[in-house]
Amino acid sequence: MKLNLIERLITNNPIRAFSQRHIEGPMLKNMAGRDKYQLCLEIGCGRGIGAHVIVKEFGAEKVIAVDIDPNQIEKANRNLKSPYKDKIEFKIADAMAIDEPDSKFDAVFSFGVLHHMEDWKKAVQEASRVLKSGGEFFFEEPFRSFMDNFFVKTFTKHPEGGKFDYEEFRKELLKNNIGITKMKRFGNIAIFGVGKKM
Ligand SMILES: C[S@@+](CC[C@H](N)C(=O)[O-])C[C@H]1O[C@@H](n2cnc3c(N)ncnc32)[C@H](O)[C@@H]1O
């Protein structure tokens, strides 16, 4: 589901970019099982900061970064400069139906995206399908109780199918052969972490 105006303002701003570059990226890299990930997919890439982080922090040689919203992809392409230009490809695509073959990627990244899906389980299924065995799924997501708080419900718009709690999330990943290897959980608010495909 595309972002509403308030969420576009929350997402596409310098503070969010700073946090992705200097806090979230390094924090997830600390949880990584490897030094480098050659071929990576990012789902829901927004205006593209995450893809830059994947190249810089995770040593990716190539990142395919997809978003359902053509305006976000246009922004991402506008911000794409050397030396990242040779390594990142932005595409319009639905994370619930990824047009990529099975077992292609060394890592899949989802920076705050599953809670925007009409069916988050489908996106997890797709992430697992395109991951190589031994590949890693990096995620950062808010939980249902956060999504259902007054301010989030009043000022932003999210699909019911994108809500889950920790146990639902953990079990769904396991059902798709992804075991969480490292995580930082903020109570019932949010989770940052990585899982490995068995
Ligand atoms: C909260 S934003 C996060 C953007 C970026 N990852 C970041 O951390 O700044 C969620 C993004 O997911 C995209 N999105 C929502 N549903 C999607 C889907 N089904 N497939 C791909 N992208 C989707 C939205 O257009 C939006 O750019």
Quote the ligand 1 centre to 44 CA distance (angstroms): 3
Q: Indicate if the pLDDT at residue 192 is higher than 90.
A: yes
Testing ligand 1's pocket by substitution, the residue of 113, 126, 147 carrying the most ligand atoms inside 8 A of its CB is 113
Q: Indicate if the pLDDT at residue 10 is higher than 90.
A: no
Q: Which run of H or of E encompasses 125?
A: helix 120-130
C-alpha torsion sign, points 119, 11, 144, 184: positive
Domains and CATH numbers, the chain: 5-17+35-197 (3.40.50.150)
pTM of structure = 0.95
Cα dihedral: 77, 82, 85, 87 (round 10): -140
Q: Indicate if the pLDDT at residue 12 is higher than 90.
A: no
**For residue 158, what are its two tokens?**
């999210």
Residues with CB under 6 A from ligand 1: 1-3, 11, 16, 20, 43-46, 49-50, 66-69, 72, 94-96, 111-113, 116-117
Q: What pLDDT does 157 receive?
A: 87
Q: Indicate if the pLDDT at residue 3 is higher than 90.
A: no
Nearest to 110 by CA among 131, 82, 87: 131
Q: Indicate if the pLDDT at residue 4 is higher than 90.
A: no
